[in-house]
Structure 1
């Protein structure tokens, strides 16, 4: 049966609407893959969101990113510090630059 990671209060919210969900607690070994799957799900939802839904979907992406960082022993502050260092050294995405990639190129540039 397909499974997916859900937010902590979803079972109670569903119950308040008369729906009973079958849930279990993820094992520590499977949690990283479940979080990565959830990140892809939320990123896809953000990528296809209408303007009025985008901010909520981006917040969902952040929540999963924070959970992944925490699972690996890092805080939101750690994540923000690394983000700021990368922004200072490599820039952000404010100039809207698009790189042309030659068809024969096999190298990969980090964004």
Structure 2
């Protein structure tokens, strides 16, 4: 038999389907803390698949996968979908929403604007001083 390493979460109905196809699945039940860690990895995987989607249909499918992982993270950490939606609305009221005309190439910050500089440099953010 050929061995393929996965080391990732898969959907709950897949092991039975794989077994019916003659595949031997080596798996384990994760503790809740490790499960959440793996879900966080899964959302990155699914988000990458969103960015690679070529058609509307693929995009719908991949966005559905992202939502499924979000719901699993929320459920496993006892966060309700209502709480998530409330936070989304609050952030939208404070920061607005995404629009095509708001793509920023760079910003310029005065050297003495320590508050903004500290925010940009001390957070785990992708901003680089050039």
Scaled by the length of structure 2, the TM-score of the pair is 0.71
Q: CA RMSD in A?
A: 2.6
Corresponding position: 1:69 with 2:69: no
Task: Report 1 or 2 for greater relative contact order, CA contacts < 8 Å, sequence distance ≥ 6.
Answer: 1
Listed one character per residue, the Cα deviations across residues 40-87 of structure 1 (whole Å, up to 9, x for unaligned) are: 111111111111311101111111111112222101121112112222
Figure out how many residues of one structure are paired with residues of the other and give that number.
Answer: 110
**TM superposition shift of 1:102:** 4.1
TM-score by length of 1: 0.81
Indicate the structure (1 or 2) with the bigger Cα radius of gyration.
2
Which runs of 5 or more structure 2 residues have no equivalent in the other structure? Answer: 110-115, 126-130
Name the residue aligned to 2:27. 23
Partner of 1:38: 42
Q: Which runs of 5+ in 1 are unaligned?
A: none
Match of 1:8 in 2: 12
SS of the counterpart of 1:23? Answer: coil
- How far the C-alpha of 1:29 sits from its partner, in A, is 2.5
Q: Distance in 2 between matches of 1:68 and 1:40?
A: 13
Write the distance in 2 (CA, Å) between the matches of 1:103 and 1:85.
27
- Which residue among 98, 104, 107 is the counterpart of 2:103? 98
